[in-house]
Amino acid sequence: MLDYMLGGKDHFAADRAAADRALALAPELPMMARESRKFLNRAVRFLVGAGIRQFVDIGCGLPTQSPVHEVAQAAAPDARVVYVDNDPLVVNHAQALLTHTARTAAIHADLREPDELLAHPRLTDLIDLGRPVGVVLVGVLGVIPEDDVARSVVDRLRRAVVPGSHLVMTQAISDVRPEVTEQLSALYQDEQIVRGSRRRNVRTRAEVETYFEGLELAEPGIVHVPAWRPDPGEPSVDPRDVWAIAGVGRKP
């Protein structure tokens, strides 16, 4: 769905149909998807600047359109990236896209089981968990419907990585356009994009901010996605129009 919204070529008819229904509710979604990609690009460059050379991108979607490995390896050719998704179609497609790419892998694992995810043999082949790692959770925590599970997954990942590691997180928030986020939430559950009990899959700013507890926030803290360390000439949109927030935290 994201690839379709970003104008890419890697999507299926079912993705397009579901995305069109979401777009009817929220025409701003492609703009938000672009801003999310730009944020990810800036955050990865920031992490490379901080010395991070290994990344785990969880809930990665298709690694197209400035994916983590392209951005990281442009700055640090030795950077290693493991993409993780629980959608077998996404993982198969990602593996095909990465066939000729060095120091990358795509694995099938579930964010809900962070210990198993981090112990996956193809992950530990590439990623040395004894060294700092950049954990990317962009646009994925919101698809876990249970608040306690989303929170405990972040806690578990933070505890599992060594000091100097960074967590990169974004999530849609319900405070800005509550009626739209509520309708989208219902649509995503109907489409089974979000599986699980029928609860809101979006959270308030205050709830998302708690995910960063125990981490040292990089400047400028937790802000609307386009406002996180914009490149020169950015942001090109009003950050308040993007109802998702972002932050990067370092494990002390």
Ligand X SMILES: C[S@@+](CC[C@H](N)C(=O)[O-])C[C@H]1O[C@@H](n2cnc3c(N)ncnc32)[C@H](O)[C@@H]1O
Residues that bind ligand X in the complex, under the rule CB under 6 A = 2, 36, 58-61, 84-87, 90, 110-112, 138-140, 143
- Cβ proximity to ligand X: between 101 and 164 the closer is 101
Find out whether the peptide bond into 67 is cis, omega within 30 degrees of 0: no
- Cβ proximity to ligand X: between 106 and 176 the closer is 106
Cβ 252 to ligand X, closest distance in Å?
26
Cβ 51 to ligand X, closest distance in Å?
23
Cβ 71 to ligand X, closest distance in Å?
13
Q: Are 217 and 166 in contact (CB under 8 A)?
A: no
Buried b (16+ CB within 10 A) or exposed e, 21-60: ebeeebeebbbbbbbbbbbbbbbbbbbbeeebbbbbbbbb
Find out whether the peptide bond into 235 is cis, omega within 30 degrees of 0: yes
Cβ 163 to ligand X, closest distance in Å?
25
- Cβ proximity to ligand X: between 30 and 164 the closer is 30
Q: Are 49 and 21 in contact (CB under 8 A)?
A: no
- Cβ proximity to ligand X: between 113 and 238 the closer is 113
- Cβ proximity to ligand X: between 51 and 124 the closer is 124
- Cβ proximity to ligand X: between 139 and 226 the closer is 139
Measured in whole angstroms, the distance separating CA 83 from the mean position of its chain's CA atoms is 11
Q: Which amino acid is at 68?
A: V
Cβ 184 to ligand X, closest distance in Å?
11
Cβ 87 to ligand X, closest distance in Å?
4
Taking the C-alpha atoms of residue 205 and residue 135, their distance in angstroms, rounded to an integer, is 21
Residue 109: C-alpha distances to residues 41, 171, 205, 208 (Å):
23, 20, 28, 23
